[in-house]
Amino acid sequence: MVVSAQSIQHILPQLKLDAAFKTIADKVLNGERISFEEGVLLYEKGELGFVGMLANFIRTKKHGSNTYFNRNFHVEPTNVCVYSCKFCSYSRLLKHKAEGWELSVEEILNNIKKYDGQPVTEVHITGGVIPKQDFTFYTDLFKAIKAHRPDLHIKALTPVEYHYIFKKAKMSYQEGMQAMEAAGLGSMPGGGAEIFDKEIRDEIAGGKCSAEEWLEIHETAHKLGIPSNATMLYGHIENFTHRVDHMERLRQLQDRTHGFNAFIPLKFRNQHNEMKHLPEATIVEDLSNYAIARIYLDNFEHIKSYWAMIGRNTTQLSLNFGVDDVDGTIDDTTKIYSMAGSEEQHPAMSTRELVHLIKAVDKKPIERDTLYNVIQDYTDVVFEEDEKEKARMYN
Ligand code: V47
Ligand code: SF4
């Protein structure tokens, strides 16, 4: 799709837009920020083609057709949790521990050693919250990982875990995050954000860290030089104003710190959880949500769609609706999404598959590290398996 400012300027008059949408389009084309009210208006009345066009313009201006992925794997230290978020299909309450697992530092390290010799650059660590996996457990774990494989980037734990761990250790966020960084923490994933609005958060995720605490821990991390991501769980009982409020709080924090790498909208999946009576968002809503996030979060470099959660087809579509990152080549040990009813029951994708998925929609596959340094441009890479397949076809 051609997305130059001139081509959009040419199309706009033909769309016969209301004045408010014309103002939004002009702001986007001039690189200006849209307001809270304009964000809500886009959700309420913005047509998919319109928001998609604007989001694609921003995406192309920032990244051309570059589409980023990394080679990572996930580790879930436990699926037992002291909390009981209603949307969670994954955790077992402490009282139902029999159905859960709790790994020791040694067991986790053994899992990590399975990737020895493989070109993974990041381990993503997150799971439930339990008293046993405390401050010392995680600092020991990070140190052990770094001692074994110093080059592996540790992206670990969310404010949900950190808030609990630091409170138990009677430490300030500042002291705690400093110690985690010294032990080897490289960055924080974006989980636990859910929806910041208090009423909705209390209803679906009551008891765990508040929106203010989530934001404060990210701010503390950013000020120490630890970057992070941010997520938003959407498509449940929240309304459009709650979504814009969520993004507004992130936008304000990003203005102060510039510590967020990517924003990752997470579509609520309704299987095996207490909210299974709710219908899931449609694909049109998913794409529109990506696009509006791209437009609203003008100070975020990257919008990520998590392919394991939304499936391969929607991921491909999302690349024309503001998304420039598809996460990584995760392996099939990640249970949190398959349990919630994601498209992928055993999410796993090799580098070759991921590269094909991106190329199939005319985008450029770029392997990155956690901090978005380019590792390899795969545009002209031909895999051995592709050669063999070609040879089979012509023989
Ligand atoms: O916070 C839990 C979500 C999150 C469900 O930073 C659900 O690179 C939908 O944050 N339906 C954790 N979502 C995952 C996460 C993440 C994933 C990939 C990459 C990164 C990153 C971060 O998963 C939780 C919660 O919002 N979640 N249950 C569900 N039923
Ligand atoms: Fe625990 Fe996280 Fe599940 Fe909430 S979403 S119950 S904090 S594992």
- Looking at the fold, whether 74 and 59 belong to one and the same domain comes out as no
What total number of domains does the chain contain?
2
CA of 206 to the centre of ligand 2 (A): 10
- Looking at the fold, whether 30 and 177 belong to one and the same domain comes out as no
**Tens digit of each residue's pLDDT (9 = 90 or more) over 82-132:** 999 999 987 766 666 667 899 999 999 999 999 999 999 999 999 999 999
Q: What pLDDT, on the 0 to 100 scale, is given for residue 232?
A: 98
C-alpha–C-alpha distance, residues 314 and 283, integer Å: 7
Q: Which residue has the tokens 């791209």?
A: 294
Q: Is the CB of 145 under 6 A from ligand 2?
A: no
Q: Is the CB of 328 under 6 A from ligand 2?
A: no
Spatial contact of 68 and 366, defined as CB atoms under 8 Å apart: yes
Lowest mean pLDDT across 30-39, 151-160, 226-235, 330-339: 330-339
Q: Is the CB of 191 under 6 A from ligand 1?
A: yes
Structural domain containing residue 256: 66-377
Of 33, 63, 93, the position where a domain reaches its end is: 63
Among protein residues, the one with the nearest Cα to ligand 2's atom 4 is 85
The pTM of this model reads 0.94
Q: What pLDDT, on the 0 to 100 scale, is given for residue 333?
A: 41
CA of 28 to the centre of ligand 1 (A): 29
Spatial contact of 31 and 57, defined as CB atoms under 8 Å apart: no
Q: Residue 130 CA: which ligand is closest?
A: 2
Does the residue 392 lie in any domain? no
Among protein residues, the one with the nearest Cα to ligand 1's atom 18 is 306
**Tens digit of each residue's pLDDT (9 = 90 or more) over 60-79:** 999 999 999 999 999 999 99
CA of 125 to the centre of ligand 1 (A): 12
Mutation test of ligand 1: which of 336, 369, 372 has the most ligand atoms closer than 8 Å to its C-beta? 336
In this structure, what CATH number is given to the domain that contains residue 195?
A: 3.20.20.70
Does the residue 393 lie in any domain? no
First CA to last CA distance, the chain: 36
For residue 32, the tally of other CB atoms under 10 A from its CB is 12
- Looking at the fold, whether 101 and 52 belong to one and the same domain comes out as no
**Tens digit of each residue's pLDDT (9 = 90 or more) over 372-393:** 999 999 999 988 877 777 777 7
